[in-house]
Amino acid sequence: MAEEQLTVGIIGCGLIGASWAALAASAGYPVHAWDPEPHARKHFPARVAAAQAQLSELGMTGKADVILVDGLQDVARDCRWIQENAPERLELKTALLAEIEAAASAETIIASSTSSLLWSDLASKLSRPAHFLLAHPFNPPHLMPLVEIYASNAGIRDRAIDFYTRLGRVPVCLKREAQGHIANRLASALWREAVNIVAEGIADVADVDRALVNGPGLRWSVIGAHMAYHLGGGAGGIAHYLQHLGPSQERRWADLGTPKLTPEVCQLLTNGIAVEAAGRSIGQLEQERDAALIARLKLRNPVSAS
């Protein structure tokens, strides 16, 4: 079956569902979407339109129809690729996924956007687990290229790589499932030390963020962490680095912090963000973030991304 003739189903029409709907429509796929919550349904069309306006700046100018349907059954009947974006609660998601599967045809592929749950837990109640996969986007999903994929079946995994590539994403596959997949494990590890630096009084929130954005963050938008140490090893590359500087890295690892999010630490973080935001609202910061991301995405030349 050619994926380009798919109608894409969206279950859960919050920010993530709206992003997926915009991506699919801008890539030329018709979308049928459903959410049980009136609030999500109400804001969905405007969110999809706003995301599509940003995508058109990036050359994704498709205008396939996006339709809000009346029930899960309608999505399951019409769509052969269904993206689930329900809240991150295991019982809710397993019940919902079983309901989608029961209403869908046998060949339908169901993908979950889960950021924190495991494939094996989510698939535990399904009759056709091979047709179920994780496809986790990174916020904001219509701008960030990364989609992390875990599928138990190699054929379904390959179809997922093809499908998300057609949505303009960069799919990265996990060899085995892991809490937080890859990117949120990395983000969590970095943030732990970012919190520690504030808690220990080494630097303020705004200065930690400024150091990251003007230092490692900028570099990691171009080359990955492993590649950075390869280039840090000089002519001998990573083998030289590991041999000569591996022990000093292990000593540095031992010196990293293990902070707790105590009320005092939370207050430091909250106060620090107020300084960094400098009066800018969440909406204004999001607009600045998106504009800066779009400018970078137009460059499309990271070294580690090919």
Identify residues 132-151 at the interface with its own copies (CB under 8 A). 138-139, 144-146, 148
Contact call for residue 225 and its own copies (CB under 8 A): yes
Residue 59: CB minimum distance to its own copies, A: 17
205 lines the binding site for its own copies (CB under 8 A): yes
Inter-axis angle of helices 205-214 and 263-277, nearest 10: 60
Taking the CB of residue 160, how many other CB atoms lie within 10 A of it?
24
Left, alpha or beta for 201 (phi > 0: left; psi -120 to 50: alpha)? left
**Type of residue found at 255:** D
Total binding residues toward its own copies, as defined by CB under 8 A:
111
Residue 9 beta carbon to its own copies: minimum distance, rounded to whole angstroms: 25
Write the CB contacts of 237 (distance below 8 Å, at least 6 apart in sequence). 230, 231
- Per CB under 8 A, contacts with its own copies among 162-201 are 170, 172-176, 178-194, 196-198, 200-201
- For its own copies, the closer of residues 103 and 199 by Cβ is 199
For residue 43, list its beta bridge partners. Answer: none
**Shortest Å, Cβ 5 to its own copies:** 28
* Of positions 61, 116, 120, 124, contacts its own copies by CB under 8 A: 116
Judged by phi (left if over 0) then psi (alpha if -120 to 50, else beta), residue 147 lies in beta
State whether the Cα torsion 180-184-186-187 is positive or negative: negative
Interface with its own copies includes 103 (CB under 8 A)?
no
Q: Are 51 and 19 in contact (CB under 8 A)?
A: yes
Stretch that binds its own copies, among 67-75, 91-99, 100-108, 289-297 (CB under 8 A): 289-297
Applying CB under 8 A, does 209 fall inside the site for its own copies? yes
Q: Does 154 bind its own copies (CB under 8 A)?
A: no
What residues from 49 to 78 belong to the interface with its own copies (CB under 8 A)?
Answer: none
Is residue 87 at the binding interface for its own copies, with CB under 8 A as the rule? no
**Can residue 102 be called a binding residue for its own copies (CB under 8 A)?**
no
The number of helices, as runs of H, and strands, as runs of E, in the chain is 13, 8
Q: How far is the CB of 106 from its own copies (least distance, A)?
A: 31
User: Considering the rule CB under 8 A, would residue 36 count as an interface residue with its own copies?
Assistant: no
Least distance from C-beta 74 to its own copies, angstroms? Answer: 29
Q: What phi, psi does 134 have (nearest 5°)?
A: -95, 135
Q: Which helix (H) or strand (E) holds 215?
A: none
Query: What sign does the dihedral 136-33-292-283 (CA atoms) show?
Result: negative
Handedness of CA 262, 264, 268, 273 (dihedral sign): positive
Site for its own copies in 238-257 (CB under 8 A): 238-239, 242-243, 246-250, 252-253, 255-256
* Contact call for residue 272 and its own copies (CB under 8 A): yes
Query: Does 120 help bind its own copies (rule: CB under 8 A)?
Result: no
DSSP code, position 7: P
